[in-house]
Structure 1
Amino acid sequence: MTMIAVCALWGMLFSVLVAEPVQAADLIRALMFQEAQRVLITSGRGLVRQFPDGAEQVMSTPVVVTQLDGGMTLNGARAASDMVKVRGRDDDLIITVAETPVSDQPQDRLSDKLSDAAGSAVPPAELGPPPMGALRGPAPLHTLVLAGAVQVIRRGKSLMVINEVDLEEYVKGVVPSEMSSGWHLEALKAQAVAARTYALYQRMMNAGRDYDVVAGVQDQVYRGRRGVDERVQQAVEATRGVVLMHQNAPVFAAFSSTAAGPTEDAINVWSKDLPYLKGVECPFDANSPYYRWRAEVSLQDLENNLRRQGIAVGTIASVTPFSFSRAGRVGRLRILHSEGELILRGTDFRRVVGYTAVRSTQFEVQSVGRTIVLAGRGSGHAVGLCQWGAKELAELGYSFAVILTYYFPGTEFNNTRFGAQAPSSTP
């Protein structure tokens, strides 16, 4: 079955979901913590425990859920099941866990989506692993303020914490985590629609899983109420229920920080041949702080990291890119070492070295000693929406609808009042 046929099938199955603007009652399940041992839940006006049969029990605050001997306890008493679900009576929940939330954990897979646009003019960028060889200490206590309900589910010897939250409240939490709230309102609207669309796509694809999305860079960063200000709320409310569609289904609305050239075909990054994720010209992001970058990579660290991942490698002599995508990004590299030759995908090279060191696969190797020097452009995978490009287009006067249909060609909105004509590729 072709990808187009698969998309058409999904469209028939889920057209009811997005045929009209999404209703506020739609819920998203976001994985907030995945290896917790103890979870403290409080709320200003008390808690309500919700049972699978629909029954509810008012509880005093706080509630403490602990993993213990292959089971779990609730306020010190062994729970009858491996799932506890609570909501605030009339207020948000405050969750405290001695584990780093997934929104703040280093990225651990090839598809990186977190923008380096969040937070400041020269922001922290897509999260990546610490420098090679860095040590990590024990995780301190982390607190999140969440709307909706929280499920604590035991899996093995750990507890998963899942926030079941209204879709629009979820989008409000994603936008300031992925883009500075000080940016142009139309850029924030574009981010809101992309975040909403991406969440619905993942919910559609993961119906049999305990959660729809991971609240970190594996999907899109969501930190609950953190960073939600008046401008974020304005952008989300102005686009409430608006979803980007292809063949009557929500699209895989990927985004990253800085393309620094044409955006990338999805097939070159994730082996997803989607008709609306083909590269387009993007001369709009030259003001990004990561439009150009340089990195130094220790070959000793590279050797050690490869060995830790079970890849046999000797002393490295050279690192040479030899295949490139149509947009000019590194497809594969040849690593010559004392025991032979190793071929790596460009995306694998980024993962091995570190996403914050090698910000994209658009780079050249300028020198090789025991430290190699890389000169690169852009930040992120460059598939779909370019966030710094969206910022520039918004400042040039283009609407969020124009911006999104430019970066996702062949798509349309579930609400027909948002017509759009693509901008010129000349800034």
Structure 2
Amino acid sequence: MTMIAVCALWGMLFSVLLAEPVQAADLIRALMFQEAQRVLITSGRGLVRQFPDGAEQVMTTPVVVTQLDGGMTLNGARAASDMVKVRGRDDDLIITVAETPVSDQPQDRLSDKVSDAAGSAVPPAELGPPPMGALRGPAPLHTLVLAGAVQVIRRGKSLMVINEVDLEEYVKGVVPSEMSSGWHLEALKAQAVAARTYALYQRMMNAGRDYDVVAGVQDQVYRGRRGVDERVQQAVEATRGVVLMHQNAPVFAAFSSTAAGPTEDAINVWSKDLPYLKGVECPFDANSPYYRWRAELSLQDLENNLRRQGIAVGTIASVTPFSFSRAGRVGRLRILHSEGELILRGTDFRRVVGYTAVRSTQFEVQSVGRTIVLAGRGSGHAVGLCQWGAKELAELGYSFAVILTYYFPGTEFNNTRFGAQAPSSTP
């Protein structure tokens, strides 16, 4: 069978699966921890162990899984396999783990921020250690309350902890981690649909992997039951099963905090040339605390950071923008140094310096001695949904459907009852 035929069959399959709103039975596998050594699982009403053949065993005590060279133990006895799956009898699971997080430094992905209680966009590092674990050094215990089931899988000398959870329960856990629940309900609905759509896209793309999504900044932040309040539940229930589609498949529903100008083409960030991820005007996010920002960086620190990343560089003389994207963001930087010239992508510059220091690739560079000063705008990659733009549009009276189809042009919903005229690019 040719590759074209295989792709056509996959397209037909997802057309059938998503022709109607997603059913509640759909499951998402979220990677919660990936370097655990010991996992404690409890539940208020007892546990049930699930076996690959469908058999179940009621557990009358908490479950403790420990990594062991060449295997793992279950409540002190050597486990017969490298996978243990447990669910609560009639209640949520409580998972306690000490480990490093799924990512031990912030990375730019769909959104490089989470929201505090006041609704301000702040990066994960400013909220303290992420819930998935501690940063480098001795790891304190971290506890999560999770719906669904938990799989503990041994991989090498570590344990992966994966939450297998109903899609809608998963979305409820993402929304308050990515947007303040105090924001307008239509903005929360837009975030819910984006989170649901992104999860289904990743499930489609990662069918052969142990998990669909990472519960941290690499994909979208998911903290189980944490932060799920009445408004979050209302937003998720109001959009239950609604997915943003293009050509009968869920879209890559990227989102970030603040565009501060036109949104960006996906191809300039991830080399994904997607027709629905082309830049649109976004004059709606001027109230974001990161609409403008400033950062200072010594050339010595930049040299050290580049070398730590394996990039050979001498003594830096100058750093200047070399090319720009259609939306006006820095595409590449030119770094002159004592050993020659280095051309660095703007997105790689952010990664090297740090995502919380260089909040976006929309900046100007000034040199002051051996220091460069960045005067920038926006926060995040600016591809797809602008969260602060969604907030403003919702407050102006636009529905979540209008907001999403504006930021993802050419898309439609799997439920035809949603649809409306797109907003003007002027508030």
Q: TM-score, normalised by structure 1?
A: 0.94
| Contact kept in structure 1, 2:283 and 2:389, CA below 8 Å | yes
The verdict on how the C-alpha distance between 1:180 and 1:131 changes in structure 2, with shifts beyond 3 A counting, is: closer
| Contact kept in structure 2, 1:254 and 1:385, CA below 8 Å | yes
| Contact kept in structure 2, 1:119 and 1:176, CA below 8 Å | no
The verdict on how the C-alpha distance between 1:152 and 1:133 changes in structure 2, with shifts beyond 3 A counting, is: closer
Q: Residue 352 of structure 1 corresponds to which residue in structure 2?
A: 352
Q: Residue 422 of structure 2 corresponds to which residue in structure 1?
A: 422
Deviation by residue 1:129-160 (Cα, 9 ceiling, x = unmatched): 99999994222111100000000000000000
Distance 2:3 2:280 in 1: 20
Deviation by residue 1:326-372 (Cα, 9 ceiling, x = unmatched): 00000000111111111100000000000000000000102242221
1:305 Cα shift? Answer: 1.4
Distance 1:267 1:54 in 2: 44
SS at match of 1:283: coil
SS at match of 2:12: helix
Distance 2:132 2:162 in 1: 31
1:208 Cα shift? Answer: 0.5
| Contact kept in structure 2, 1:106 and 1:129, CA below 8 Å | no
| Contact kept in structure 2, 1:98 and 1:139, CA below 8 Å | yes
Q: Residue 259 of structure 1 corresponds to which residue in structure 2?
A: 259
1:114 Cα shift? Answer: 6.0
1:61 Cα shift? Answer: 3.0
| Contact kept in structure 1, 2:178 and 2:220, CA below 8 Å | yes
Distance 1:128 1:301 in 2: 24
The verdict on how the C-alpha distance between 1:109 and 1:190 changes in structure 2, with shifts beyond 3 A counting, is: closer
| Contact kept in structure 2, 1:246 and 1:412, CA below 8 Å | yes
Deviation by residue 1:352-398 (Cα, 9 ceiling, x = unmatched): 00000000000010224222110000000000000000000000000
SS at match of 1:45: coil
The verdict on how the C-alpha distance between 1:345 and 1:103 changes in structure 2, with shifts beyond 3 A counting, is: closer
Q: Residue 369 of structure 1 corresponds to which residue in structure 2?
A: 369
Deviation by residue 1:64-122 (Cα, 9 ceiling, x = unmatched): 10101121000010100000000000000000110244388532779957678985476
1:311 Cα shift? Answer: 1.1
SS at match of 2:121: coil
Distance 1:96 1:131 in 2: 11
Distance 1:46 1:347 in 2: 48
The verdict on how the C-alpha distance between 1:126 and 1:387 changes in structure 2, with shifts beyond 3 A counting, is: farther
Distance 2:390 2:190 in 1: 8
| Contact kept in structure 2, 1:115 and 1:387, CA below 8 Å | no
Distance 2:5 2:383 in 1: 22
The verdict on how the C-alpha distance between 1:123 and 1:212 changes in structure 2, with shifts beyond 3 A counting, is: closer
Distance 1:27 1:324 in 2: 41
| Contact kept in structure 1, 2:199 and 2:213, CA below 8 Å | yes
| Contact kept in structure 1, 2:242 and 2:413, CA below 8 Å | yes
Distance 2:123 2:425 in 1: 26
Distance 2:110 2:192 in 1: 24
Deviation by residue 1:264-321 (Cα, 9 ceiling, x = unmatched): 0000000000000000000000000000000011221211111112111111111111
| Contact kept in structure 1, 2:116 and 2:180, CA below 8 Å | no
1:234 Cα shift? Answer: 0.1
Deviation by residue 1:173-196 (Cα, 9 ceiling, x = unmatched): 000000000000000000000000
| Contact kept in structure 2, 1:365 and 1:375, CA below 8 Å | yes
Distance 1:330 1:130 in 2: 30
Which range moves more in the overlay, 122-131 or 282-291? 122-131
| Contact kept in structure 2, 1:28 and 1:164, CA below 8 Å | yes
Aligned-residue Cα RMSD (Å) equals 3.3
Equivalent pairs, count: 427
The verdict on how the C-alpha distance between 1:338 and 1:118 changes in structure 2, with shifts beyond 3 A counting, is: farther
Q: TM-score, normalised by structure 2?
A: 0.94
The verdict on how the C-alpha distance between 1:372 and 1:10 changes in structure 2, with shifts beyond 3 A counting, is: farther
1:17 Cα shift? Answer: 1.9
Distance 1:58 1:131 in 2: 29
Distance 1:127 1:110 in 2: 18
1:227 Cα shift? Answer: 0.3
The verdict on how the C-alpha distance between 1:217 and 1:121 changes in structure 2, with shifts beyond 3 A counting, is: closer
Could you list the runs of 5+ residues in structure 2 that have no partner in the other structure? none
| Contact kept in structure 1, 2:30 and 2:212, CA below 8 Å | yes
| Contact kept in structure 1, 2:256 and 2:384, CA below 8 Å | yes
1:413 Cα shift? Answer: 0.4
Could you list the runs of 5+ residues in structure 1 that have no partner in the other structure? none
Distance 1:409 1:219 in 2: 22
SS at match of 2:84: strand
| Contact kept in structure 2, 1:362 and 1:376, CA below 8 Å | yes
| Contact kept in structure 1, 2:100 and 2:134, CA below 8 Å | no
The verdict on how the C-alpha distance between 1:349 and 1:116 changes in structure 2, with shifts beyond 3 A counting, is: farther
Which range moves more in the overlay, 333-342 or 115-124? 115-124
Distance 1:249 1:308 in 2: 40
SS at match of 2:174: helix
Q: Residue 172 of structure 2 corresponds to which residue in structure 1?
A: 172
1:165 Cα shift? Answer: 0.1
| Contact kept in structure 2, 1:187 and 1:400, CA below 8 Å | yes
Which range moves more in the overlay, 362-371 or 248-257? 362-371
Distance 1:126 1:266 in 2: 27
Which range moves more in the overlay, 142-151 or 307-316? 307-316
SS at match of 2:49: strand
Which range moves more in the overlay, 61-70 or 275-284? 61-70
The verdict on how the C-alpha distance between 1:394 and 1:252 changes in structure 2, with shifts beyond 3 A counting, is: same
Q: Residue 51 of structure 1 corresponds to which residue in structure 2?
A: 51
SS at match of 2:126: coil
| Contact kept in structure 2, 1:21 and 1:241, CA below 8 Å | yes
Percent identity, please.
99
